[in-house]
Amino acid sequence: MKSTSYMKHKLPPLSYNYNSLEPFIDEETMKVHHEKHHQTYTDKFNEAIKNNQELQNKKVEDILSNLNQIPQDIKQAVINHGGGFYNHNFFWTILKKDIKLKGDILKEITKTFGNFETFKEQFTKAATTLFGSGWAWLVLNENKKLEIIQTKNQDCPLSIKKIPLLAIDVWEHAYYLKYKNKRADYIEAFYNVINWDKVNELFVNAKK
């Protein structure tokens, strides 16, 4: 007999210590961001789909890739909290200090933007100019080309058919304890903790 129970989505552990990104992202921010904010998104995502067996049996990526499958009465909650769950799951994986930009992703950035500095200027602008809370992303679009986009709140690139490769969280909870209202300083520091090896891996897999 098929079980009607399901494995709830769980907060994934980080693969590094909370102080691993110091001094660029501080230990206290990482701890609060992961244990409090990300945990809350996880809990509320589970709550949103608790009465929907079909969604319970799907991966969050599959849910966010087809928003039309979500019943209207829980749709916004799933977008908000499922997005918050997925976006943070992704974000933690692309953070690491002292990783050099190289490989296929460097070639593609150079091909698309001309050079890394131009890419950095455009990515920084996307992160800086996003009004309110949200994310800036480097994605692979439907034409298998690199593109920089913004998403509001916890909206996810998967929902608009784009594959995430790199992201910066510009919600205030991502930086306020250390940088206060200086979002630009946080964005500049972010370039010191990009796990380019992971970004390259995501890019290579997405191009297949």
Say if residue 115 is in the same domain as residue 180.
yes
Q: Are residues 116 and 186 in the same domain?
A: yes
Specify whether 114 is located in the same domain as 62: no
Within this chain, do residues 58 and 141 fall inside the same structural domain, yes or no?
no
Q: Does some domain include residue 12?
A: no
Question: In the predicted model, what is the mean pLDDT of the chain?
Answer: 96
Domain presence at residue 55:
yes
Q: Which tens digits make up the pLDDT trace of 61-87?
A: 999 999 999 999 999 999 999 999 999
Q: What global pTM score does this model have?
A: 0.95
Is the predicted pLDDT of residue 7 greater than 90, yes or no?
no
Residues 84 and 108 in one domain: no
Residue 17 inside a domain? The answer is: no
Give pLDDT tens digits for 124-156.
999 999 999 999 999 999 999 999 999 999 999
Contact in structure between 81 and 9 (CB atoms under 8 Å): no
Q: Are 127 and 148 in the same domain?
A: yes
**Same-domain pairing of 69 and 149:** no
Same domain, 60 and 129: no
Q: Say what the pLDDT of residue 6 is.
A: 55
Instruction: Based on the fold, state whether residues 136 and 72 are members of the same structural domain.
Output: no
Question: CA dist 7 to 59, 94, 193, Å?
Answer: 11, 26, 33
| CATH (domain of 69) | 1.10.287.990
pLDDT tens-digit readout, 25-64: 999 999 999 999 999 999 999 999 999 999 999 999 999 9
| Domain finish residue from 53, 69, 93 | 93
Asked whether residue 2 carries a pLDDT value surpassing 50, the answer given is no
Give domain status of residue 53, yes or no: yes
| Pair (179, 113) in one structural domain | yes
Of 64, 93, 122, the residue that ends a domain is 93
Query: What CATH code is carried by the domain that includes residue 126?
Result: 3.55.40.20
Percent of the chain with pLDDT over 70: 97
**Residue 124 domain flag:** yes
Residue 18 lies in a domain: no
Which CA distances in Å does 33 have to 27, 40, 41, 55?
A: 10, 10, 11, 26
What is the DSSP secondary-structure string of the chain? ----------PPPPSS-TTTTTTTS-HHHHHHIIIIIIHHHHHHHHHHTTT-HHHHTS-HHHHHT-GGGS-HHHHHHIIIIIHHHHHHHHHHHTB-SS----SHHHHHHHHHHSSHHHHHHHHHHHHHH--SSEEEEEEE-TTS-EEEEEEETT--GGGGT-EEEEEEE-SGGGTHHHHTT-HHHHHHHHTTSB-HHHHHHHHHHHH-
Q: Which domain holds residue 164?
A: 104-207
* Mean pLDDT of the region 159-165: 98
In a domain, 2, yes or no: no
Query: How far apart are alpha carbons 120 and 127 in whole angstroms?
Result: 10
Domain count, the chain: 2
> Long-range contact list for 172-176, CB < 8 A, 24+ apart?
172/133, 173/32, 173/33, 173/37, 174/29, 174/33, 175/25, 175/29, 176/29
Q: Are residues 149 and 89 in the same domain?
A: no
Out of 57, 74, 93, pick the residue that ends a domain.
93
Provide the pLDDT for residue 208.
85
Q: Is residue 64 part of a domain?
A: yes
* 43, 129: one domain: no
Instruction: Supply the pLDDT for residue 66.
Output: 97
